[in-house]
């Protein structure tokens, strides 16, 4: 019996071995036959790149697979508007930056092939493919087109090497058009280079003076146009004024672009230490997340008085177009410094509100208004940029010229070539656009070569039927006009009434018994027809209490919270939740969180 069981067990063992040997040879797995001489590969399947679009959804760039190509030539980049050389360079900088959203993730597959067969008989997906996401820029293609066409016309006309232009919305810091020209390489680049700004820096010095308590009406002796800062140094270079005057107040110093006056503001009125930290407050050369590479030397403290004075009028100081534009934007918007923004993180739906605020740099709207009035005087008759004044009466340009000397190879300033600039806004009372124009290696002043470029760009933007914020309404508004394209937000009740009366707008207040400032405006309708309702709320800047911003759009909420240094927001639409609660203690250094959503 034992022998019989042993024989049966031996036979069963042999059968089992034979079966496993057979399986090892033909491998029956999931009802499919794999051959012992099969080929197995780990392969990658391409996914689609995201697109780059402008703020309105127009495609600017894409990367597609080219038919019949392999390796490095497999992909083909398409710049849909190659005739715009400045834009193409900027797009190149965007797509080669560290923006991960654009780049797809390949699928990883384990494939098995039957000998002689090109098609796999089994594919196991180890990692799925993920298409790249679309990236929206704040750029408006229509404005970019206006900018580059104007530059193309005026650069050869004025004999400049080239020009860089930046158009920005001062209410959000969003860049609407941008080009970056390298005069040394004589081509557009995807790098923003710093330069000595010259006199376009003077408005920043003026802001620091006002914030330091300097009386703008005080007259400074301007040394009859020639000033040797250190009287005991005969070798020191004399600071000169082009428009010689015995003395001038701040308005006159701005209008006539007095180097001596602004040098004296630094040394005699502000003090260099206060000036230095005042410039730092404007985040000059301060690093922040931006998709393009920025090349600058930095802003450093200097020791000798002559150089300290020169920094007050924009020499011996290093800045980029972003630095100057964001500082100028704070003058335009009432005092808030916004970092220039090129990428819309929430897509085109957030183009009206998305912003990145840094800090409040002008403590009162009155100081900002004083600066805008000074800059308006620059363009009026007798100012250094009177030629920039528009032939259209509804424009009230305000801006500043700059004619910065260029250093030669030895480091000395040359008197032959200049970087000639103009920076301005299209309206001194209700600005929607900031435009900075820099013409490189020019032989003429900023007002002569950069001013006309600014003028034409602004006029074409403002008069464009799809771009203009007012579209002739201010000049031709009929009596009792709705004026829904005019902004009253930020105005006091009295100022809003005066503006509405001057523009012949039909407006009403949500509560006529209230005082305060306008925080929102809404079109309403009753039996008499449509009207513009202005919502008033008391600013609680000096009470130390948290205002109620629920129900407000982001821009209006930020206006109510302008006295609080750190405001964190998320979402788009209107505020539905805030912390701290209304009426809670909220000092200047408090942190406020607000959440927004659409449909409320």
581-590 pLDDT, tens digit per residue, is 877 777 777 7
Please tell me the predicted confidence (pLDDT) of residue 32: 42
What pLDDT sits at residue 34? 43
Distance CA 180, CA 231 (A): 42
What pLDDT sits at residue 476? 40
Per-residue pLDDT, averaged over 125-150, amounts to 90
Encode pLDDT of 327-381 as tens digits.
999 999 989 999 999 999 887 777 777 888 888 899 888 899 999 999 999 999 8
CA 398 to chain centre: 20
Tell me the residue ranges of DSSP E strands in 355-490. 357-360, 398-407, 413-425, 434-442
Paired tokens of 461: 């933007």
d(CA 201, CA 327): 9
Kind of pairing between the strands at 591-597 and 566-570? parallel
According to the model, what pLDDT value does residue 358 have?
81
pLDDT of residue 330: 94
In the prediction, which pLDDT does 477 show?
44
Q: How many CB atoms lie within 10 A of CB 83?
A: 11
Mean pLDDT score, 91-99: 88
Model pLDDT, residue 474: 45
SS3 assignment, position 554: helix
Which CATH entry fits the domain spanning 37-137: 3.40.50.10140, 3.40.50.300, 3.90.1310.10, 3.10.20.90? 3.90.1310.10
**Topology classification of domain 141-227+237-463:** Beta-lactamase (3.40.710)
**Is pLDDT of 114 > 90?**
no
Identify whether the C-beta of residue 314 lies closer than 8 Å to the C-beta of residue 201: yes
User: Does pLDDT of 24 surpass 60?
Assistant: no
User: What tokens appear for 2 in the block?
Assistant: 């034992």
Do the Cβ atoms of 443 and 159 come closer than 8 Å?
A: yes
Q: Which residue has the higher pLDDT, 67 or 564?
A: 564
What pairs with residue 42 in β-bridges?
110
Report the share of the chain in percent with pLDDT over 70.
84
Mean pLDDT of 183-208: 91
* Burial class, 37, CB count within 10 angstroms (exposed 0-12 / middle 13-18 / buried 19+): exposed
If one counts every other C-beta atom within 10 angstroms of the C-beta of residue 413, the result is 13
Asked if pLDDT for residue 117 goes beyond 90, the answer is: no
Per-residue pLDDT averaged across 114-131, rounded? 81
- Between 407 and 365, the more confident residue is 365
Q: Which residue has the higher pLDDT, 490 or 91?
A: 91
pLDDT over 80 at 150, yes or no? yes
Asked if residue 422 lies in contact with residue 165, where contact means CB atoms within 8 angstroms, the answer is no
Q: What is the pLDDT of residue 575?
A: 85
Tell me the residue ranges of DSSP E strands in 204-329.
Answer: 220-221, 226-227, 239-240, 247-248, 293-295
Give the whole-angstrom CA distance, residue 98 versus residue 290: 10
pLDDT at residue 467, rounded to an integer = 77
Instruction: State the pLDDT at residue 485.
Output: 63
Q: Show Cβ contacts of residue 329 under 8 Å, excluding neighbours closer than 6 positions.
A: 168, 170, 173, 337, 338, 434
Are 387 and 368 a contacting pair, CB within 8 Å?
no
SS3 call for 532: strand
Please name which of 144, 282, 260 lies closest in space to residue 208, comparing C-alpha atoms: 282
Confidence of residue 101 (pLDDT cuts 50, 70, 90): confident
In this structure, of 67-71, 135-139, 302-306, 354-358, the range with the lowest mean pLDDT score is 67-71
Comparison of pLDDT for 379 and 101, the residue scoring more: 379
Band the pLDDT of 69: cuts 50, 70, 90. Answer: low
What is the pLDDT of the chain when averaged over all its residues? 82
Best mean pLDDT range from 206-220, 385-399, 482-496: 206-220
Taking residues 195-206, report their average pLDDT: 93
Least confident window among 109-118, 276-285, 317-326, 476-485? 476-485
pLDDT band at 259 (very low <50, low <70, confident <90, very high): very high
Residue 339 makes CB contacts below 8 A (sequence gap 6+) with 173, 283, 288, 290, 326, 356, 357, 358
Residue 276 has pLDDT above 50, yes or no: yes
Query: What tokens appear for 240 in the block?
Result: 């000169």
Let me know if 157 is exposed, middle or buried by CB neighbors in 10 A (0-12, 13-18, 19+): exposed
Of residues 536, 547, 543, the one with CA closest to residue 578: 547
What CA–CA distance (Å, rounded) separates 33 from 20?
15
Task: Give me the pLDDT at residue 381, please.
Answer: 87
pLDDT top residue among 122 and 388:
388
Q: Lowest mean pLDDT of 90-94, 132-136, 473-477, 558-562, name the range.
A: 473-477
pLDDT of residue 93: 92
Asked if the model's pLDDT at residue 541 lies above 50, the reply is no
What's the mean pLDDT in 206-216? 95
Determine the average pLDDT of the residues in 57-75.
79
SS3 sequence of 76-103: EEEECCCCCHHHHHHHHHHHCCCCCCCC
Sign of the CA dihedral with 350 first, then 355, 356, and 357 last: negative
Q: According to the 3-state scheme, what is the secondary structure of 27-76?
A: CEECCEECCCCCEEEEEEECCCCCCEECCCCCEEEEEEECCCCCHHHHEE
**pLDDT over threshold 70, residue 47:** yes
What's the average model confidence in pLDDT over 170-186?
92
pLDDT band at 520 (very low <50, low <70, confident <90, very high): confident
- What is the per-residue pLDDT for 27? 46
Per-residue confidence at 104, pLDDT binned at 50, 70, 90? confident
Position with higher pLDDT, 497 vs 270? 270
């Amino acid at each position: 019996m034992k022998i019989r069981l042993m024989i049966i067990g031996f036979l069963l063992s042999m059968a089992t071995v034979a079966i496993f040997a057979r399986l090892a040879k033909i491998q029956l797995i999931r009802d499919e036959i794999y051959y012992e001489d099969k080929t197995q590969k780990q392969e990658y399947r391409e996914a689609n790149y995201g697109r780059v679009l402008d703020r309105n959804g127009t495609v600017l760039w894409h990367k597609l697979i080219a038919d019949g190509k392999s390796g490095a030539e497999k992909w083909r980049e398409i710049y849909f508007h190659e005739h715009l050389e400045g834009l193409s360079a900027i797009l190149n900088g965007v797509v080669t930056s560290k923006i991960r959203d654009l780049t797809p993730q390949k699928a990883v597959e384990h494939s098995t092939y039957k000998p002689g067969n090109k098609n796999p008989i089994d594919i196991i997906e180890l990692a799925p493919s993920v298409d790249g996401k679309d990236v929206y820029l704040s750029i408006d293609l229509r404005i970019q087109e206006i900018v580059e066409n104007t530059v193309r016309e005026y650069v050869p006309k004025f004999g400049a090497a080239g020009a860089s232009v930046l158009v920005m919305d001062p209410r959000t810091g969003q860049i609407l058009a941008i080009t970056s020209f390298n005069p040394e390489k004589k081509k557009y680049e995807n790098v923003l280079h710093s330069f000595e700004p010259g006199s376009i820096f003077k408005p920043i010095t003026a802001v620091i003076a006002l914030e330091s308590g300097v009386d703008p009406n005080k007259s400074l002796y301007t040394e009859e146009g020639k000033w040797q800062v250190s009287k005991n140094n005969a070798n020191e270079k004399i600071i000169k004024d082009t428009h010689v005057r015995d003395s001038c107040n701040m308005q006159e110093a701005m209008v006539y672009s007095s180097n001596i006056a602004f040098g004296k503001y630094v040394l005699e009125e502000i003090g260099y230490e206060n000036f230095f930290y005042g410039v730092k407050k404007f985040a000059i050369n301060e690093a922040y997340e931006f998709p393009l590479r920025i090349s600058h030397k930095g802003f450093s403290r200097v020791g000798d008085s002559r150089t300290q004075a020169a920094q007050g009028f924009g020499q011996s100081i290093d800045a980029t177009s972003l630095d100057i534009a964001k500082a100028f934007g704070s003058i335009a918007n009432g005092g808030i410094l916004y970092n220039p923004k090129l990428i819309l993180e929430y897509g085109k739906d957030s183009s009206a509100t998305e912003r990145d605020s840094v800090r409040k740099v002008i403590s009162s709207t009155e100081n900002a208004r004083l600066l805008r009035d000074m800059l308006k005087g620059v363009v009026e008759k007798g100012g250094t940029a009177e030629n920039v004044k528009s032939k259209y009466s509804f424009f009230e340009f305000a801006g500043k010229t700059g004619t910065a000397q260029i250093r030669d190879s030895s480091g000395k300033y040359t008197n032959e070539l200049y970087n000639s600039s103009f920076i301005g806004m299209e309206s001194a009372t209700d600005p929607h656009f900031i435009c900075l124009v820099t013409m490189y290696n020019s032989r003429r002043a900023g007002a002569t070569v950069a001013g006309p470029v600014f003028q034409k760009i602004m006029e074409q933007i403002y008069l464009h039927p799809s771009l203009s914020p007012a579209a002739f309404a201010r000049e031709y508004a009929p009596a009792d006009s709705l004026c829904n394209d005019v902004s009253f937000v930020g105005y006091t009740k009295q100022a809003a009434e005066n503006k509405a009366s001057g523009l012949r707008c039909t407006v009403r207040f949500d509560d006529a018994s209230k005082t305060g400032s306008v925080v929102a405006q809404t079109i309403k309708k009753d039996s008499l027809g449509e009207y513009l309702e202005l919502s008033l709320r008391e600013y609680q800047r000096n009470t130390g209490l948290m205002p109620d911003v629920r129900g407000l759009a982001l821009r209006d909420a930020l206006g109510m919270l302008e006295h609080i240094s750190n405001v964190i927001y998320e979402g788009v639409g209107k505020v539905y939740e805030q912390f701290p609660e209304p009426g809670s203690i909220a000092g200047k250094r408090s942190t406020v969180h607000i959440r927004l959503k659409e449909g409320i």
